[in-house]
Amino acid sequence: MLNRRNFLTAAVGVAAATGLAACAKKDEGGSTGSGGGDGKIVLGFSQVGSESGWRSANTDSVKEAAKEAGYNLKFSDAQQKQENQISAIRSYITQGVDVIAFSPVVVTGWDAVLKEAKAKKIPVVLTDRSVETSDESLYVTLVGSDFTDEGRRAGKILEKVLEKAGHKGPVKIAQLEGTTGAAPAIERAKGFKEVMDADHADDWKIVVSQTGDFTRAGGKQVMAAFLQSNPDIDVLFAHNDDMGIGAIQAIEAAGKKPGKDILIVTVDGVKDGFIAMSEGKINAIVECNPLLGPQLMEVVKKVKNGETVERWIKTKEGDFMQDQAKAALPSRKY
Ligand code: GYE
């Protein structure tokens, strides 16, 4: 997979080229896409689905920010299916929107449709998740988090969690992965493994790892199976809060105490995750901010106007331990 960091170097050239493309489009058509002549920016947005609390917050953020910015937003929910995203993008191309933004459900398989957008000179902005492509000119920028770093932060915070729990000796870890082939699943696993390989080759071991597709139902079902095959799991690392919450139900159903018998680290920091943490059931959360709407609208405007934007616009986020949960809960925005 291409390292997203490598893309930064190409930023100026690609953004400039796409900027020119955006201008050319305006000149050709004499109007700005399918805006119906009212001067509004027309943004076609293809969302992954509604699999998690993170996703709902992200969808709300995009819709609100588009309204605030006065854009004409065309929104579609792909229900976690790549073919649905591809048809949504194709329909935005046919409609001649000004800019297409999408959060790709998986990393591969986008080149053909992105080439179609490029041929029609419609710039594409990735949001939240990245794609794997050999042609860097197929999208202008990514607005989203550094998932590899989130995986590393999960590893680091687990050290603190284990210390706090007074855990000594080997650590048997179960991992609930996100959607197979999705950037956050690949990269969070990678970052976590980096910490394991560097500092815990002798004491930590991932004994089971499987996808729960970023959903509560998936987390519950897979965790129940994990507990059957490995009743002596010490730690659960779940790639998102929702799978962690599903897993908590399975752990309780098996007569164990989440947060005590099995220490739990998750990613996202949605309200329900914080509630579970304030109840002592999740031990630490690595934050991943879904409120990308305002930044996305800003970028879309720049891209539409042919301005240069950075190749990767990163989200800022923090980490939270259980003892911070109660205090942080009232101020959580998602
Ligand atoms: O962590 C998860 C969601 O892509 C960052 O997708 C996003 C992830 C998020 O379903 O809850």
52 Cβ closer than 6 Å to some ligand 1 atom: yes
Closest ligand 1 atom to Cα of 241: 11
Read off the amino acid at residue 68.
Answer: E
Amino acid at 182: A
Please tell me if the CB atom of residue 188 comes closer than 6 angstroms to any atom of ligand 1.
no
Choose one of 46, 47, 48, 52 to mutate for the ligand 1 pocket test, by most ligand atoms within 8 angstroms of C-beta: 52
Distances from the Cα of 157 to the Cα of 1, 152, 163, 197, 303, angstroms:
26, 9, 10, 15, 38
Angstrom distance (rounded) from CA 292 to CA 145: 10
- The architecture of the domain spanning 147-288 is 3-Layer(aba) Sandwich (3.40)
Q: Return d(Cα 305, Cα 303) in angstroms, integer.
A: 5
Residue of minimum CA distance from atom 8 in ligand 1: 184
State the CATH architecture for 25-144+290-315: 3-Layer(aba) Sandwich (3.40)
Topology alike, domains 25-144+290-315 and 147-288 = yes
Bridging pattern class, strands 284-287 and 312-314 = unpaired
Q: Which helix (H) or strand (E) holds 206?
A: strand 204-211
Mean pLDDT score of the chain, rounded to an integer?
91
Ligand 1: residue of 270, 288, 292 to mutate (most ligand atoms within 8 A of CB) is: 288
Return the residue matching tokens 């197979």. 180
Domain chopping of the chain, boundaries: 25-144+290-315, 147-288
Residues with pLDDT less than 50, the chain: 1-35
pLDDT digits (tens, 9 = 90+) for 34-44: 445 688 999 99
List, for residues 123-166, the tens digit of each pLDDT value: 999 999 999 998 999 999 999 999 999 999 999 999 999 999 99
CA distance from start to end of the chain: 31
Distance from the alpha carbon of residue 240 to the mean position of ligand 1, in angstroms: 7
For residue 268 and ligand 1, the question of a CB distance below 6 A is answered with: yes
Which contacts qualify for 165-168: CB closer than 8 Å, 24 or more apart?
A: 165/260, 165/263, 165/283, 167/234, 167/263
* CB of 234 sitting under 6 A from ligand 1: no
- For residue 312, how many other CB atoms are within 10 A of its CB? 17
**Ligand 1 pocket mutation pick from 240, 241, 245, 274 by most atoms within 8 angstroms of CB:** 240
pLDDT per residue as tens digits for the range 82-132: 999 999 999 999 999 999 999 999 999 999 999 999 999 999 999 999 999
Tell me how far apart the alpha carbons of residues 238 and 139 are, in angstroms, rounded to a whole number: 30
pLDDT of residue 36: 53
Q: What atom in ligand 1 is closest to the CA of residue 51?
A: 10
